[in-house]
Amino acid sequence: MAVEILMPALSPTMEEGTLAKWLVKEGDVIKPGQIIAEIETDKATMEFEAVDEGRIGKLLVAEGTTGVKVNAPIAVLAEEGEALGARPKATTPAGAPVPLAPVPAAPVATAPAMTAKPPAAAPRAGGARVFASPLARRIAAERGLDLTRITGSGPHGRIVRSDVEAAGAMAAPEAPAPIAAAVPAAAPKGTMPTGMAAETVMKIYADRAYTEVPLDGMRRTIAARLTEAKQTIPHFYLRREVRLDALMAFREQLNKGLESRGVKVSINDFIIKACAMALQSVPDANAVWAGDRILKLKPSDVAVAVAIEGGLFTPVLRDADKKTLSALSTEMKDLAARARTKKLAPHEYQGGSFAISNLGMMGIENFDAVINPPHGAILAVGAGVKKPVVMADGSIGVATAMSMTLSVDHRVIDGAVGAEFLKVLVEMLENPMALLA
């Protein structure tokens, strides 16, 4: 019987995407694990692999088609002996599970910080046959997972790669009790104030020349999340100034030693490392908001804002406190480069408990950043500026000072905790040798 291949969901908030490219054509025989299409979301272009063996009977969606809804049929897989172009007798109902799984850039060792642990699937009764793709069986064997305890989301309940990977993540370290809607969901249409209607605004400027720019998926997502953040998160702001002269001298010396390895550490790399270590020193600041509770993280997973054309990414440097400055520098450069070409996998920009937004290289001296939910805080970093200061001996001197503003979610972090975090951060940045300890 012919099987429909459905448009997959690549993230908790994805509702539609663009079928960028088919890597197969009608009549091609495909095998499980074979990459058959590239699909663009608001954040990235992802490759997708076949779950079942068969022949492509019909491509239902043309390359370049935008606005393809999640779970909409995009192709038909015909079994041996079936005519090409045949549609399944019983089509997959709307909202059915997705039969294709994204191919991540690297395996995810633990579940994302903001994802709650759902109950395990019940074992199959009476020793019933387990239907699973060969790739799913191989991954399950490698990870020691029992397929009889995994619920399949593929066609006819078949277990696919994403089911096994999700089960592996849930078998990782114990998480708190299940949380309803731990991942912020997109607000239903019409429930969030959007300001003036488009027609009203266009009437105001009817006699002026303008160019209309349609919103793409990324810009829509940014608008929705920032509106949600400012409307639902009680922000408060803490400001500190740090003197960079010792750090800049230490950086120059360090880069000379790293020159032979082709590594050049930036001021931002020092800030990432210092924030990661400060989160370990002040663990109450290493937390996220999870609807009806707070999750305090053990690792320091630091997100860093990267500006790209039309928006931004916040790739996450996981276990940043355990990595050397040179390792952080190399990883950050790689993530930033792939972010600008939209080649990041979802697990590389989701998660984290804390974020950094640095506009210093653009000459901005200070600003207030908007928290990226469910993070508990974000650090806005300004430019280093030479200014007169009072030295330790009471004399007047010149120092390079940098402004930092910590935007804090008051539901997660209290003022005293935020102040302690900034105190530790300033001490580390003004005594950079401690970052090598």
Model confidence at 185: pLDDT above 70: no
Q: How confident is the model at residue 156, as a pLDDT?
A: 63
Element (H, E) at 405: strand 396-409
Model confidence at 1: pLDDT above 90: no
Q: Which of residues 280 and 177 earns the better pLDDT score?
A: 280
Domain regions of the chain by residue span: 1-103, 104-182, 235-436
Q: In whole angstroms, what separates CA 142 from the centre of its chain?
A: 26
According to CATH, the superfamily of the domain at 235-436 is Chloramphenicol acetyltransferase-like domain (3.30.559.10)
Q: Which of 156, 235, 347, 410 is catalytic?
A: 410
Same fold, 104-182 and 235-436: no
Topology of 1-103 in CATH? OB fold (Dihydrolipoamide Acetyltransferase, E2P) (2.40.50)
Contact (Cβ atoms closer than 8 angstroms) between residue 163 and residue 151 = yes
Model confidence at 17: pLDDT above 80: yes
Model confidence at 16: pLDDT above 50: yes
Active site residue 410: yes
Q: How confident is the model at residue 162, as a pLDDT?
A: 78
CA distances (Å), origin 270, targets 16, 301, 302, 335, 405? 39, 15, 13, 17, 17
Q: What percent of the chain has pLDDT over 90?
A: 44
Q: How confident is the model at residue 287, as a pLDDT?
A: 97
Q: How confident is the model at residue 186, as a pLDDT?
A: 45
- Mean pLDDT for the chain? 81
Model confidence at 148: pLDDT above 70: yes
Count Cβ atoms within 10 A of the Cβ of residue 187 and give its class: 0-12 exposed, 13-18 middle, 19 or more buried: middle
According to CATH, the superfamily of the domain at 104-182 is E3-binding domain (4.10.320.10)
Query: 60-111: per-residue pLDDT in tens?
Result: 999 888 888 888 899 988 866 666 665 654 444 444 444 444 444 433 333 3
Tokens of 175: 């998480």
- Within 10 Å of residue 268's Cβ, how many Cβ atoms? 17
Q: How confident is the model at residue 116, as a pLDDT?
A: 37
What residues form DSSP beta bridges with 378?
355, 407
| DSSP code per residue over 370-389 | PP-TTBSEEEEEEEEEEEEE
Residue with tokens 């702001």: 237
Q: How confident is the model at residue 219, as a pLDDT?
A: 83
pTM score, whole prediction: 0.63
| DSSP code per residue over 150-167 | ----SGGG-B-HHHHHHH
Q: How confident is the model at residue 14, as a pLDDT?
A: 72
Q: How confident is the model at residue 87, as a pLDDT?
A: 61
